[in-house]
């Protein structure tokens, strides 16, 4: 792999990690503002509570559908 491709790959990976971490912080803040537990958000969005926890901590690779369902659950 050439140097430019390695650098582009690293930048893409860093950007995706930043987006996941940022989404997790936003989800947690909105959930707390709504007075909801992770379990309540999980139930409303039809995902596991462990999934909510992993996403809030910036881990995992949720689908766009899951992210949308989570945001809808905290905005009710």
Domain range summary for the chain, segments of one domain joined by +: 3-74
- Other beta carbons less than 10 A from residue 42's beta carbon: 19
Residue 60 has pLDDT above 90, yes or no: no
Superfamily of domain 3-74: lambda repressor-like DNA-binding domains (1.10.260.40)
pLDDT digits (tens, 9 = 90+) for 15-34: 999 999 999 999 999 999 99
3-state helix, strand, coil in the chain (%, to 5): 75, 0, 25
Mean pLDDT taken over the chain: 95
Average pLDDT over residues 39-66: 96
d(CA 9, CA 53): 27
């Amino acid at each position: 792999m050439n140097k430019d491709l390695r650098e582009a790959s690293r930048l893409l990976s860093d950007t995706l990690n930043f987006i996941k971490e940022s989404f997790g912080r936003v989800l947690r803040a909105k959930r707390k503002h709504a007075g909801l537990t992770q379990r309540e958000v999980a139930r409303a969005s039809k995902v596991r509570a462990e999934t909510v926890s992993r996403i809030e901590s910036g881990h995992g690779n949720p689908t766009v559908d899951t992210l949308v369902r989570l945001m809808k659950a905290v905005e009710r």
